Structure formats: C-alpha cells, structure tokens
Structure 1
Amino acid sequence: MPGAPSISTKSDKDFPRNIPAPQAFSDPYEQRAFLKFRLAQAYRIFAKYGYDEGVAGHITVRSPQGVHFKLMQPELLLLAAYMIHSAVHEARPDILCAAHSHTIHAKAFSALGVPLDPITQDSCAFYKDLSLYTEFRGIVEDHKEGQAIAAAMGSSKAVILQNHGILVATKSIESTVFFFMSLEKCCQVQMLTDQAAAARGMKPRLIDPENAADTHRHLGSEMGGWFNAMPEFQLLEHEEGKRFEYLPTQ
C-alpha cells in the first residue's frame, strides 16, 4: 500500500512504525461504502478457499442469503439479522465483523468438542482467546440459541461450535478474514499432529504458557490480523482490477 500512513506506536507498541495503517474516513457515507466493498471482497476470498457450503455460513457487517460467494458484489449485500450473528453483534459492541461458515477442518475438529492446543506459532494467536460452545441443537433458528453462542464466546475473538464449525469476530473485516482462515488451518494442523503423535505412541509437545502468551500478544492482536490479511485483499484487487472508488450521490 504505497503512500499509506504509518500507524502510531502509541496504539500498539509492539508494531514497527513503518506498518501501513488501516484506511480512515471522515465521511461516514464513504466509510459505509468501503465496508460494503470490503465485505463483498471477503466473501470472494472465502469462495477462493472453498469456505462456502451452499448458502450456509455468513460474514457480517452485512450478510447476503441465497447467492454463491463467488458472485458476491456490494449491491447484493443486505442488512443481516441472522440468529447467531445478530446475537454476537448485540453482545459484543466492540466488534465490527463476524464470520461463520462450515469449513472442512473446522467441522471435523469441532466434532471432538475440545479446545485448540498451543502447538504451533500460528495456534498461539488463539491462546486464551478461543472459546468452546459444547451444545448442538440443530439449525440455529432461535434467538436464544444465538445468545447462548455469544455468551459462550465471551470476550474471545473466536469460538468453536461443537459439531458445527467456527465463528470469528473482530474489530475489522480484514482481521476477521485472516483469523478465520488461520483458525481453519490450525484445526487441520491439530488433527494431523494428534494423529501423528498417536501413531508414535506419544503426545504433542505444547508451547509453554509464557511463550504462548507472548506469541499471542504479537500475532493475535487486532492489528496483527489486519496486517496479515492485507496481501489477500491486495491480490484480489490485482486479479480483478477492481479497487474501492467512492462516488457520492448528488
């Protein structure tokens, strides 16, 4: 992002001064247009990695229904009131974006009903920042079920929904996309590690709590998620030749 301003180390002392900052807007209508543009991009990135499952799963700031992720454009986005997402947004006024889908490895790992272990640098991004919801009552069609999921999530940025999948919610679309993608991979690595360890008659070696917490502080932050997500959005814009352009109505 050439020419982008650098973030202030006053907001996050662990990041160097030369990291570009998230885009800021003085016009709320321009900000809203950008969020819609970015959210549509997030759906197309999910589609690229096969995170769509029919019309199940959603990403909100705003969420569509009945449209394949690959076809998503800003004008197709609708105001969302889905049972899980509305409850999460209601319970967590600090978050901007929430993503939930039925991805392969997350579904498989969620069926174990156990939390993620700190076995890799990447999994430490979720160290003590990942909750577990141990109930499955079928398709979520009741607001109380959404509230129960939100309560189980607590202040964490992610929750494993037993027999269901994962949900990630953060302060930006970009960091939500990155941490969702990362958590899906961590679920895959956890299962591969458990399988390999069992075959050798041993247990995986965990990262000690002090180093796990320190790694989380660096990699699990909001800015860490945003910064790591940017290559995906930049690549999408390069491939599509489409960047955000605000054309205010007269």
Structure 2
Amino acid sequence: MSTTTTLVQRKPTPTQTQNDESKSAIERLSHGVTISGIPSFTSIEKKRHWMLEHMAGAFRVFARKGFAEGLAGHISLRDPEHADCFWTNPYGKHFGLIKVSDLILLNENGEPVGGATHLPANAAGFEIHSHLHKRYPHVNAACHTHSKYGKAYSAFGRRLEMINQDACDFYGDAHAVYPEFGGVVLSDEEGAKLAECLGPKGKALILQNHGLLTVGQTVDEATYLYTLMERSCEVQLLVDAAAEGSGKAKKFASDQACEFTFKAVSDPEALYCAFQPDYEMEKALTNGDFLD
C-alpha cells in the first residue's frame, strides 16, 4: 500500500515577509503557528478572576516544587482595577492548599479590603511587596520564598554567572544582590531598600542569607522566573563544586550571546508562556481544585 502526501502551498503572511526584528518575541520563538500569549478580556471582573486563578495555580506549582517552608513565602499581584491594592496569600496556609477563595486583597496601608478578609496576611510580606508595587508601576506581581537552593546560594552574596542558556534570563541589570540582611523584613525602611536594589530594569533579587525574589508584569512571569532562578542557583552550586573538585576552569557565555538570548527569551509575554506548561499540568493533576 502506498500513501501520497499533498503539500499545501501557503502564501507568506505579512509577518513572515518581514524581518525578525518586526516580530514579537513569542512570534520569533514559535515555529509555524504562534503559541497563544497573554489573553485580553471584555471586563475587569473576568480579567481579575483569570488573574486570581493563575495566582492560586502559582502557589500550587511552588508547593509541588518544594518551595514551601513553614510560615515563610508570599506572592503578590496588583489588582487590575485598584492599582494601589494587591492580592496575596493568607498567613499560615500551605501553598499546596491555597485556592482562589483564600486570597486576600490589601490596600496600600496593609488593610484587608477584599477576598478572604477574615484570614491574616504576612506582615513581612506586606513590607516587601508594597514597596515593589508602589515604586514600579510595571511590577504587577512579585514572588518570594525560602526555597532550598536559593537560600544556599544566597550565602555567597554574589550574582549568578552566565554559565548556561537559562541563566541568560537574568543577564545584566535583570538581577542583583541585596547584601544587607537584617533579619525578618518588618520595617518600612527595609522594604524600601529592597525595592531600590531591584532597580527599574530588575527582574530578580538574590537576598543575601535569605532567599530569592522575582517580579513580573504577570504572576505567570514572576512565578516562572522564580522557578528558573531557583534551578539556576542549584546548577550554579553544582558547577562551582565540580570546578573546585576537578580544578577545571568554567566556560562563560559571551556578552554578545547573553544579550542576544536575553532579548529573545526575557520578553514578558514569552515568560508568561513559559509558565503555562506548569500551570496546565497543575490543573490536570488537581482536577482544577485550586480554581474554587
């Protein structure tokens, strides 16, 4: 039995006839059909509900990856209607149990004004996240936990090295080290200094002797960057140990390669898309339990 294949000749679309610089990051990264990016909505209410579903999903992904540590850790998400308010997780509830109905909306004074107002929020979390949202209008979401490899690498108080492609997401001003560990962040001054250290182009901070912090235009972007930074810290520790044990020199990516890769993959929409496999997997594994 023989089969024949008919090749369909398609005319190039206007996008295909333009050079790569005219395409969005996600168009350049997709081959053939472009992967779906950040959706748009017909109402604030629909957008808010979608955002909170992804925020609750982010906590579940963090739990599955082992980022929960007692009472520590928080994610914040600016409300799409009330820009001076942000959503966060309840204090003392495991990431793996958080649902949409558990999330709390805080105003700029830290007062609960929406969502699960009967539940407590994290005081240190408010000090950290409130300053990030106030200082940077483009920062709609921020993530901070005490994950294992982030804590381990933070003890060195140094930036990640550009030793692999994934580390290039944090190239240049995209990440910094906050070197002034002063204990639990409970002061307004400490929160302001953290935000200043991040900088207007920053996507991530290594908090010395503390852990990691990432930000994004969507909670998906901030969450993916956190998982990537945690893994990058793990790889950095492995490479450092191997280099020391073997005496072999590490090879670093060139600035040109790092800059090219950063521009290709660090776009907010591309980073949003990078989180979707984890989000969809979490929905499948939990039958969407966190969406309630």
Say yes or no: TM over 0.5: yes
SS where residue 177 of structure 2 aligns? strand
CA-CA distance at 1:75 after TM superposition = 1.0
**For 1:136-168, what per-residue CA distance to the aligned partner results, in whole angstroms no more than 9, with x for missing partners?**
001000011011000000021101100000100
Instruction: Tell me which amino acid in the other structure corresponds to 1:144.
Output: E
Deviation at 1:15, TM superposition (A): 3.9
Q: Does 1:93 align with 2:137?
A: yes
Aligned amino acid, residue 206 of structure 2: I
Offset of residue 14 of structure 1: 3.3
For the 8 Å contact 1:125–1:215, the answer to whether it is kept is yes
Q: Does 1:36 align with 2:52?
A: yes
**1:37-116 correspondence to structure 2 within 5 Å:** 37-61=53-77, 62-64=87-89, 65-80=91-106, 81=110, 82-116=126-160
Q: CA deviation at 1:220?
A: 2.0
Q: 1:119 and 2:144 equivalent? A: no
Quick check: 1:151 aligned with 2:151?
no
Alignment match of 1:218 (pick from 257, 264, 275): 264
Q: 1:58 to 1:245 in 2, by over 3 A?
A: closer
Structure 1 window deviating more from structure 2 (182-191 vs 200-209): it is 200-209
Q: Cα RMSD over matched residues? A: 1.9
CA contact (8 A) 2:56 2:291 kept: no
- State which drifts further: 66-75 or 232-241: 232-241
Q: Match for residue 114 of structure 2?
A: none
Shift of 1:111: 0.7
Q: Is the 8 A contact 1:52 1:103 kept in 2?
A: yes
Report the Cα offset of residue 243 of structure 1: 8.6
Structure 2 residue corresponding to 1:201, chosen from 238, 244, 247: 247
- Structure 1 pair 211/10, CA: closer, same or farther in 2 (3 Å)? closer
1:151 counterpart letter in structure 2? E
TM-score (structure 1 length as normaliser): 0.90
- Please state how far the C-alpha of 1:38 moved relative to its aligned partner: 1.3
1:142 to 172, 187, 205: 187
Secondary structure at the residue paired with 1:79? strand
- Number of aligned residue pairs: 239
Gaps of 5+ in 2: 1-14, 16-21, 78-86, 111-125
Find the counterpart in structure 2 of residue 4 from structure 1. none
SS across alignment from 2:104: coil
| CA distance in structure 1 between the aligned counterparts of 2:41 and 2:213, rounded to whole angstroms | 28
The structure-2 alpha-carbon separation of the partners of 1:244 and 1:84, relative to structure 1 and needing over 3 Å to count, comes to: closer
* Distance change in 2, residues 1:194/1:21 (3 Å): same
Query: Mean Cα displacement is larger for which, 109-118 or 58-67?
Result: 58-67
> For residue 178 of structure 2, what is the aligned residue in structure 1?
133
Q: Classify 1:53/1:111 alpha carbon distance in 2 versus 1 (closer, same or farther; 3 Å).
A: same
Q: C-alpha displacement at 1:218, in angstroms?
A: 1.5
Cα shift readout 1:169-226 (whole Å, capped 9, x = no counterpart):
0011111111100000000100110111111223311111100111111122212211
Equivalent in the alignment of 2:6 = none
Deviates more, 1:14-23 or 1:54-63: 14-23
Q: Deviations over 1:81-132 (max 9, x none)?
A: 4100111111111021100000000001011001000000111111111111
Structure 1 window deviating more from structure 2 (40-49 vs 221-230): it is: 221-230
2:28 equivalent among 14, 20, 31: 14
The SS at the match of 2:28 is coil
CA distance in 1 between counterparts of 2:50 and 2:231 reads: 28
Cα distance, 1:244 vs structure 2:
9.6
